[in-house]
Structure 1
């Protein structure tokens, strides 16, 4: 059996129940401004960097509403979301403390690899009193290409400095799964808003209902 020597965590939708909050905040602002936004549109960009999502909004809405209005829409939705995060509205997903405790007990290092901005990551971790749990973070600010490009996971692997075959990534989104697969690192999917497709199922080590089940699976699949 391969020895597990490191863990890479996604954040939104995996550690924090943030995806629904992002959608709610954006929908409220869109409704106030008369912009035809929808849940389906939001779901189309789950797991994509903010920069790419915002560019897509401009492509979709600028011709009807103008660039300045779309800029205000994006900024207002962002500000509303961050305010919710600072207030501690983003709940932890089930099993977060269990998997962190397991890794501590086994002395397995971890890196947080999120397509989000560092300021937002810090806000969420601080609100949940998890800052000390993730001393190493790779984020939007550190890469030139977002998921599904493998760059963020390759950087995380370089930081951990362990062989790819001894690493496991925890992800919830399709773009994250594709990025892990392209990086050549095994990935466990914990689905959030979007159910896995057949293509995704072929690219993951396993699919588990929550982080709570991860320690048991790792104990059976790896030497820890």
Structure 2
């Protein structure tokens, strides 16, 4: 029986991807670097620090990585706070509540910074539902490296065969599978350009999931 569900956050719990994209491309313009939409798609699921480490090397940027990370966070926070219409993805809160009512432990394992995760969790009162929060900023390597999901399973004190991951990006799906964890991929409008076929199951609406069905999953 599945005992723990590990959620990605951006694009799974909340649709902050357009805000992240706006912040990144605003900063790319400030830096004067020609990042294409196709190149940006390869960054989805990676931490902001890892993104700027790659870009600093590729474009020989003189700016300090931490300064670029701080600027992106500033741009994100401003847009996040100004977006009064921002909400959780449809069906996610009902699924979270259903899982908790059935004593399924919940973990969030997101490439986002701790500050960004806290901003989302505080605004939408999510802290009571989640036993642990794991941020990508604590790892040297981002998804598709499996470290973040292995750490989530360790904190949950749950064997990987009794966990599932819910993801929306190719890097995240690859990380889950590398960790040996069953992965459900949420196919959203922002998944365009993302190869999610490595996932064990694809969904297009969170109404397709419930606690009973998840608990009954038997990973191969």
Same fold flag (TM > 0.5) = yes
Partner of 1:60: 58
In the alignment, the residues of structure 1 paired with residue 19 and residue 10 of structure 2 have an alpha-carbon distance, to the nearest angstrom, of 10
The alpha carbon displacement at 1:218 in A equals: 2.2
Which residue of 2 is the match for residue 163 of structure 1?
A: 159
Q: Which consecutive residues of structure 2, in runs of 5 or more, have no partner in the other structure?
A: none
Aligned counterpart, 1:214: 209
Contact 2:186 2:203 in 1 (8 A): yes
| Paired residues of 1:87 and 1:127 also in contact (CA < 8 A) | no
Number of positions where the alignment pairs a residue of Structure 1 with one of Structure 2: 215
**How much has 1:34 moved relative to structure 2?**
4.4
Aligned residue for 1:106?
Answer: 102
Deviates more, 1:31-40 or 1:123-132: 31-40
Q: Distance between the aligned counterparts of 1:180 and 1:47, measured in 2?
A: 12
Question: Which structure has the larger Rg over C-alpha atoms?
Answer: 1
SS of the residue corresponding to residue 164 of structure 2 reads: strand
Whether contact under 8 Å (1:86, 1:123) holds in the other structure is no
- How far did residue 212 of structure 1 move? 2.4
Please list, as runs of the form range in 1=range in 2, the aligned pairs for 1:180-199 lying within 5 A after superposition: 180-192=176-188, 193-195=190-192, 196-197=194-195
Paired position in structure 1 for 2:10 = 12
Partner of 1:76, secondary structure, is helix
Structure 2 residue 193 is the aligned partner of structure 1 residue 175: no
Which of 143, 151, 155 is matched with 2:139 structurally?
A: 143
Find the residue that maps to 2:46 and give its secondary structure. Answer: coil
Paired residue for 1:116?
112
Deviation of the 1:185 alpha carbon: 0.8
**Structure 2 residue 75 is matched with structure 1 residue 80:** yes
Q: Where does the alignment leave 5 or more consecutive residues of structure 1 unmatched?
A: none
TM-score with structure 2 length normalisation? 0.85
More helix by share: 1
- When the two chains are superposed, the root-mean-square deviation of aligned CA atoms in Å is 2.6
Runs of 4+ aligned structure 1 residues displaced above 6 Å come to 69-72
Question: Aligned with 1:188: secondary structure?
Answer: strand
Please give the TM-score of this superposition, normalised by the length of structure 1. Answer: 0.83
